[in-house]
Amino acid sequence: MFFVKTLKLIRKYAFQIIFVGAVSCVIFALDLPDNRFHAYFLDVGQGDSLLIKTPENQHILIDGGPNNSVMKGLSEAMFFFDKTIDLMVLTHPHSDHVTGLISVLKDYDVKRVMMTLVIYKSRVYADFLKAVKDEGAEVFVADATTDFDFGSTFIDTLYPFSKISGQTFKDVNDSSIAMRIIYGDKSIFVGGDIGEGIEKKIVAKYNDLKSDVLKVSHHGSKKSSSDIFLRALRPKIAIISCGKNNSYGFPPDMILDRLNKYGIKIYRTDLDSKVELVF
């Protein structure tokens, strides 16, 4: 069994929380490790950022959004004196995924970084690579064997199938790291901005992709979330990370209709703000 929390729900019951006790005490209690798995789909505007907090109070940060909003999200989800990121993942070097990670690298103790090291000409990507070097974090070049065991939580990297460092891509979205985050019998699929072509390759490669939760790729773009992919994952919940009134029109009605067709419950950061899953 798992629970979904959104900022709207917190606001709805804010009076009752304040009535029960001092706000500072409530916040302190919420920050303490509770021996449960938390996934925070952070509201970073038109971008992506996901923080995993394991029952052992380890932190996995996947992407950092297009600005420094991730810093506020981390401060709200992590205990105030805990400044450790046990694993940082950059799915691909587009600015709406990498920008916020630079500030995290400067202000937090980042132990390990997983990325593809593809070639992509971008000032912000170059700044990120320099920040990783300055931090001295251990770097892992992603492929399907680059997995991480956090005790109760397992990071199963699915794509790229082999290392693609030093390569260039016509569409760098298709260099995105895709993975399943597994906790007990629950799992979350995260795939950066992969498109339908990569989705089909992943489905062809793996026999079991069943995932309870889908972090919808490419902010709900019509280029992702294909029928064959959704049938393979069979998620119960879909999280779409996108900016309010974004200029791309994400997510389009066709994707929302497709998710609804499979009976998938949809949450969106543009409507629900931060979305938290608790297992």
Residue from 126, 79, 73, 80 nearest 104 by CA: 73
pTM: 0.90
Question: Can you list the alpha helix ranges (DSSP code H) found in 21-68?
Answer: 23-31
Number of domains in the chain: 1
For 42-57, write each residue's pLDDT tens digit. 999 999 999 999 999 9
pLDDT tens digit string along 243-264?
A: 999 999 999 999 999 999 999 9
β-bridge partners, 63: none
**What does the pLDDT look like over 182-227, one tens digit per residue?**
999 999 999 999 999 999 999 999 999 999 999 999 999 999 999 9
Averaged pLDDT score across all residues of the chain: 91
Residue ranges making up the domain that contains 243: 3-278
The enclosing domain of 147 has a CATH number of 3.60.15.10
- Kindly state the greatest CA–CA separation across the chain: 57
When pLDDT is averaged across residues 114-140 and rounded to a whole number, the result is 98
Please provide the DSSP assignment of 137-174 as one string. PEEEE-STT--EE-SSEEEEEEESSS--TT---SSGGG
Strands 178-183 and 186-190: antiparallel
> Dihedral sign, CA of 144, 275, 2, 31?
positive
State how far the Cα of 79 lies from the Cα of 57, in Å rounded to an integer. Answer: 9
